[in-house]
Amino acid sequence: MKARLVGATVAMALSLAALPVGGASAAPVTHEVHFAAFTEGVAAEVIKSFPGTLRVHSGDLIHFTANTDPAIPEAGVHGAGLLPKGQEPRTWLREQATNLEGPWAAFVPDPDEQPDLVPSAWKISNRMIFPNRPQCGATADNPCDFDGSGDGDQGVLASGMGWGVDSFLDFYVRVTAEAGTTLWALCPFHPAIRVRIDVVADDEAASSPEAVAAAREAAIARHATKAVALHEEYVDARIGRRGRDGAKVWQAWAGLEAGPIFLAGMYPRTLRVRQGDTVEWNFGRKEIHTVSLPLNTALQTPWLTVKCDLDTDAGTAEDVDGAPAPPFCPGATTQVEFDLDHTFPLPIGNGSFGGADDFETSGIRGYGYPGLRSAPYRLRFNKASGRGGFAYACMLHYGMRGKIVVAD
């Protein structure tokens, strides 16, 4: 009798577990969305959303996170922007975000600074950095409601950047759009990170958080294996061809990419060339980098400085230094500027490295924001380096370093 009761209870529990998550009377579910992931074994980030598609019920919560990794402290900087219904990511990016005149451009000119520079000085758009509804979203008890109404500018719900140690993104949204609506969320800095959110009817199955978590873990493990193999294939790569003048042109990679995988390193780590040879660095489509040398100059130039523009862009008074943490400036978001160093966005130098006191940099290159180059960067090495070689780095990801050893 007892055994039969236990059996019935187990059967009932099993049948309950098999029911689709949600249903008309079910409590709202919290769906975890991870913007990118780091892998074990080698410094690499998988630049995509886990999951890539999500089915939710109206009233469900979505928790967006993006972890950091101590091995690549400068990576993992992601935000979440939820687009209103009818806004498709490609079009939205083109019209609103990658268009430098667009309201959601990630990088914007700084009109009252260094007007002699062409283009003028740049800063990160405050719309990318700060939440546009700061009164909600930080905790599960106080999510931001999002019904998907509005246009591609005012209708967007932006998380801004969190300032946490473990995560730049920790954002709760309650989807209140009606069933049948499709919404998209993406990282404005890394548009390859995007998730499609289908709001389904109460009697249809929503995504199961357990199944989503299991698929994510399995995918990350697969990507980790690929990342290690890719690293091993390219870390000592010697791929060159003879140029027209008889000197060699060697291939190198600033942040090797394959599919969604971004290896946070310079490939090959050390490249041995002869005087007069050229090195050609290739860039990816998911991340942006620079190739900058000598190493010390690359590392000692802070590419980003927090400034307070007390009279805003309208006035011409000089900016003052901002505090390192929020709210940064007395006037908070109306005054703070995240200024890019002028040596950071644009190429500098004559294309031939002359040794220690010669600064040569590719400028930011990578995925296709207008004004950002994605073409390979070529640098000629006319001077012997000695055994130590010429070290270089990415000004954005200081941990990405390499060395060119030039034999005479």
The contact set with Cu ion (CB under 5 A) reads 289, 394, 396-397, 400
Q: How far is the CB of 264 from Cu ion (least distance, A)?
A: 7
Give backbone dihedrals phi and psi of 298, rounded to 5 degrees, phi first. -60, -40
Q: How far is the CB of 383 from Cu ion (least distance, A)?
A: 25
Q: How far is the CB of 163 from Cu ion (least distance, A)?
A: 21
Q: Which is nearer to Cu ion, 182 or 301 (CB)?
A: 301
Which residues does 121 contact at the CB level (< 8 Å), separation at least 6? 109, 110, 113, 114, 339, 340, 342
Tell me how far apart the alpha carbons of residues 357 and 17 are, in angstroms, rounded to a whole number: 67
Q: Which is nearer to Cu ion, 21 or 400 (CB)?
A: 400
Q: Which is nearer to Cu ion, 123 or 286 (CB)?
A: 286
**Which 3 state secondary structure label does DSSP give 158?**
strand
Residue type, 188: P
HEC letters along 165-182: CCEEEEEEEEECCCCCCE
Q: How far is the CB of 257 from Cu ion (least distance, A)?
A: 11
Residue listed under structure tokens 């920790």: 170
Q: Which is nearer to Cu ion, 30 or 282 (CB)?
A: 282
Burial zone of 135 (CB within 10 Å; 0-12 exposed, 13-18 middle, 19+ buried): exposed
Q: Which is nearer to Cu ion, 261 or 394 (CB)?
A: 394
The two structure tokens encoding residue 201: 């009817």
Per the rule left: phi > 0, alpha: psi between -120 and 50, beta: everything else, 345 is alpha
Q: How far is the CB of 269 from Cu ion (least distance, A)?
A: 15
Q: Which is nearer to Cu ion, 80 or 396 (CB)?
A: 396
Alpha helices in 31-97 (DSSP H): 89-92
The two structure tokens encoding residue 321: 């230094």
The answer to whether the beta carbons of residues 350 and 382 sit under 8 Å apart is no
Q: How far is the CB of 63 from Cu ion (least distance, A)?
A: 28
Q: Which is nearer to Cu ion, 249 or 254 (CB)?
A: 254
Q: How far is the CB of 284 from Cu ion (least distance, A)?
A: 10
Pairing of strands 288-289, 365-366: antiparallel
